[in-house]
Structure 1
Amino acid sequence: MSIGTQELLIFLAIGLVAGWIAGLLLGGGGLIRNLIVGVIGSFVGGWLLSAVGVSLPIDNVMISQIITATIGAIVVIALARIIAR
């Protein structure tokens, strides 16, 4: 199965927005860092929410994905700060 260019760009845009929001909430940032944190956060958030059995009650799929990725990005940033100590 191959991912199309449009899907990849949407995925990266969601990651960038999620990383940016997490950066606003926790401080720090930069385009590349936000993108990396947001993309990793999308996987972490998706895994975390499914592991605890939470389904966001949001009808808009894009908004739901951004919130899920933002939750994951916040977790990634928090864990990175704990490890860095």
Structure 2
Amino acid sequence: MHLSNESLLVILFVGLVAGWLAGQIVRGTGFGIIGDILVGICGAFIASWLFPKLGIHLGSGLLSSIIYSAIGAVILLLVVRLLRTGGRF
């Protein structure tokens, strides 16, 4: 797979926005800008794996990528919070 510079920038931008949105929704401690990008990108992978298995399709384009990634990042942050607090929110 070949990524151009533009596609790498789009992935980082989507990851940053999705990680920030997830942090605002979950209202946990922040991970910083790099942590937000990583959570957003991991959330995108989680959502791209989980949503097709559930039969959910939100469309295509940048906005749907941000929504997918944000939902996946929220799921990831909730799992991390559950593991950190020993099963309590």
Taking structure 2 as the reference length, the TM-score comes to: 0.86
Gaps of 5+ in 1: none
Residue 74 of structure 1 aligns with an amino acid whose one-letter code is V
The Cα shift of 1:2 comes to: 1.4
Residue matched to 1:55: 57
1:67 aligned partner:
67
Instruction: Work out the number of aligned pairs and report it.
Output: 83
Instruction: Please report how far the alpha carbon of residue 21 of structure 1 lies from its aligned counterpart in structure 2 after TM superposition.
Output: 0.3
For residue 21 of structure 2, what is the amino acid of its counterpart?
I
* Mean CA deviation greater in 27-36 or 71-80: 27-36
CA RMSD of aligned residues (A): 1.2
Task: Tell me by how many angstroms 1:62 deviates.
Answer: 0.4
Ranges of 4+ aligned residues in structure 1 off by more than 6 Å: none
Distance in structure 2 (CA, Å) of the matches to 1:71 and 1:39: 11
Q: Within 5 A, what are the aligned runs for 1:1-85?
A: 1-27=1-27, 28-29=29-30, 30-56=32-58, 58=59, 61-84=61-84, 85=86
65-74 or 45-54: bigger deviation: 45-54
User: 2 CA distance for matches of 1:66 and 1:80?
Assistant: 20
Counterpart AA for 1:10: V
Q: Return the alpha-carbon distance in structure 2 between the equivalents of residues 2 and 37 of structure 1.
A: 23
Deviation at 1:23, TM superposition (A): 0.4
